[in-house]
Chains A and B, each alone.
Chain A
Amino acid sequence: MSETAFEPEITAFVCQYCGDMAADSAGWNRISYPANVKIVRLPCTGKVDVHHILNAFEHGADGVYVVACPEGNCHHINGNLSAKRRVKYAQSLLDEVGVGGNRLEMFHVTAAQGDEFARIAAEMTERIRALGPSPVRRAMGK
C-alpha cells in the first residue's frame, strides 16, 4: 500500500457501560469522527485481556485502544483499573516486539461524553496515521 493512501485500521475495546454508551451518545448528537475504529463491546474493560490486545496487533491492527469508565466509576468497581494496568503491560510487550507501545492507549469517558468519544477516535486515528501502518501489517503485505 502507498503511504499516502494509508487509512489506519484500529480496534477499540469498549465497556458496555461508559464506552459503548458514549459511542451511542456521539451518534445521537451526530458528532462525526473518523471511521477507522472498529468497536468491540465487552461487559467491562476488566475483560480486556493482554492476549486480546496482542491478538489484534497480530491480526494487523494499526492501533488499539480501550475506552473505560472514569476512574472510581467502574460499574464493576475496579475493572477499569485492571484494564489500565494491563494496557501498560501490553505496551511494554509491544515495545519489546518492536510494534511500539504507543500504538496502544487507555481512555476514560462517561456515558454522556459523546464529544469526548469522538475526540478520542480522532486523536487515535491521527496518532496512528502519523505512525504509519503497523510493522506487522506492513510485513503481511496488506
Chain B
Amino acid sequence: MIIAQRKPLEEIKEMVASYEKVLVLGCGTCVAVCFAGGEKEAKLLASELRMARQMEGKSTQIIEHTIQRQCEWEFIDPIKELVASVDAVVSTACGIGVQGMAERFEDKPIFPGVNTTFLGMPVQPGEFVERCQACGDCILDLTGGICPVARCAKSLMNGPCGGSQNGKCEVNPETPCAWQLIYDRLSKLGQLERLLDVMPAKNWSTSRDGGLRKIIREDLKL
C-alpha cells in the first residue's frame, strides 16, 4: 500500500495563499488507510486551513470533498463541476492522484497536500513501515521473503555490512538490520546455505533507473 504523510500546514498554506476558493480533495483508498489523506484527514486539513486563513484575514472559502480514488479517471470525472467552481485544489492523494488530477484539469492548479512516502504496511496501529521499493525485479525468493533493497540502508545484495550490531542497523538504532532478519529467517527455514552464494550485481534497469516504467497488456486493452 502507498504510505503518505500530511505536509506541514505552513507549506500548504503557502501554496494556496493567492487563491480565493480552494478545494481540499481527499482520496479514499491508500492514503485513507495510512491516515494522511482520507475523508477524515481532508476535513481536518480544511478546518485547519479555514482557521489559519481566517486569522490572517483571508478568504475562508475552503471546501472539502473526498472521492474513492484519484488515480482513476472514472472517479475523477464526476467532480468536474466541483473543481471548476474553485480556484485551486489541494489533493491529499498520493503523487499519483495529484498527477491524475493535474492531467484531467489542465487549467486548474493542483497542489499536493501530502508527501508520498513509501510502499509499506501498518505493522501495528499507528506505525507504518516501508517494505518495497518497486525495483521491478523481485528477489524475495532468495532472501527469505525480506527485501534488502527496501529495508537495508545501502540496499546491499550481500549483507550484512560491518554496521550491523545487535540486530540493528548502524544508520538508525531503531531499525532492524535487514540482513540480520534475512539471516535469522533463513536460519529458521534451514536455508542458511543460500547466503553462501555471492549474489550478483543487481539489474536496476527494471527499477526507476530505467526511466518511466509502463506495462502493456494487449489482452486487457479495449
Contact = CB atoms under 8 A, between A and B. Distances in A.
Contacts of B52: 97-98
B44 A93 contact: yes
Given A135-B55, A136-B55, A139-B54, A97 B48 contact: yes
Contact of A51 (B8, B47, B55): B47
Interface stretch (A22-30, A54-62, A116-124): A54-62
Interface majority SS (helix, strand, loop, mixed), chain A: helix
5 closest Cβ contacts across the A-B interface? A54-B47, A139-B54, A135-B55, A96-B9, A139-B55
Nearest to A85: B126
Interface of A: 49-51, 54-55, 57-58, 93, 96-99, 135-136, 138-140
Contacts of A51: 40, 43-44, 47
A58 B8 contact: no
Contacts of A97: 9, 48, 51-52, 55
B48 A93 contact: yes
B190 interface: no
Contacts, number: 42
Contacts of A135: 55
Interface of B: 8-10, 40, 43-44, 47-48, 50-52, 54-57
A59 B137 CA distance: 53
A83 B56 CA distance: 30
A96 B6 CA distance: 12
Contacts of B57: 139
Given A135-B55, A136-B51, A139-B54, 9 more contacts: A51-B40, A54-B47, A58-B47, A93-B9, A93-B44, A96-B8, A96-B9, A96-B48, A139-B56
Contacts of B44: 50-51, 54, 93
A139 B8 CA distance: 22
A105 to B, nearest CB: 18
A98 B55 CA distance: 8
Nearest to A96: B9
Nearest to A93: B48
Contacts of B40: 49, 51
B54 A136 contact: yes
22 contacts: A50-B44, A51-B44, A51-B47, A54-B44, A54-B47, A57-B51, A93-B9, A93-B48, A96-B8, A96-B9, A96-B10, A96-B48, A97-B51, A97-B52, A97-B55, A98-B52, A99-B51, A99-B55, A135-B55, A136-B51, A136-B54, A139-B57
A49 B44 CA distance: 10
Contacts of B55: 97-99, 135-136, 138-139
Nearest to B9: A96
Contacts of B51: 54, 57-58, 97-99, 136
B46 to A, nearest CB: 9
Q: Which of A49, A93, A99 has the most CB of B within 10 A?
A: A93
Nearest to B50: A58
A58 B57 CA distance: 14
B47 A55 contact: yes
B49 to A, nearest CB: 9
Contacts of A140: 54
